[in-house]
Amino acid sequence: MISLEIPGYGPLSIKTIIHDLNGTLSVKGELVAGVKEKIKMLNQMGIRQVLFSGDTRGNALAIAKDLGIEFRLAASAAEKAGLAREYDPDTCAAIGNGRIDKDLFDVVKLSIITLQSEGVHTLSLSAADIVVPTVIDALNLFLDKNILIATLRS
């Protein structure tokens, strides 16, 4: 778990990171370089990680197994938001990019959108707390807590 006191923001405790797959952890069906190593580091920190995906490319379960994280099939925005409610959303962060992530972003405590080559949906962009260029940058927010503090403080 990550527990922080952020000036002007208040306390933040993250126990679970919910990941989107297509356009987030992967681009065109392939894991983004460095994702596996960053996920492993977060696993070693004791942070629960879950992959929510509609499995558009049919490889979500295999990727989740390879990363050592849980997989939950979520084929719609409503399903992602509903599943997030099972994980104590006040202690969840979500990383995504698509329209399907908008409702999820509305449910969790901290939402992060990545601006990778598969694009972002403007509704999700408006709902996100933090915008980063890549999923590696998103994962680094949890690996270097000072980045997260600097981004959220007011």
pLDDT digits (tens, 9 = 90+) for 50-63: 999 999 999 999 99
Model pLDDT, residue 69: 98
Contact 35, 135 (CB under 8 A): yes
Mean local confidence (pLDDT), 130-134: 98
Q: How confident is the model at residue 46 (pLDDT cuts 50, 70, 90)?
A: very high
Q: How confident is the model at residue 26 (pLDDT cuts 50, 70, 90)?
A: very high
Model pLDDT, residue 38: 98
Which domains can be identified in the chain, with CATH numbers? Answer: 7-148 (3.40.50.1000)
Q: Which residues of 60-80 are buried (b: 16+ CB within 10 A; e: fewer)?
A: beebbeebebbbbebeebebb
- Of 100, 102, 93, the closest CA to residue 151 belongs to 93
Model pLDDT, residue 12: 97
Mean local confidence (pLDDT), 133-140: 98
Beta strands in 37-106 (DSSP E): 48-53, 70-73, 92-96
What is the value of pTM for the model shown? Answer: 0.96
- Other beta carbons within 10 Å of 23: 25
pLDDT digits (tens, 9 = 90+) for 95-109: 999 999 999 999 999
Mean local confidence (pLDDT), 24-52: 97
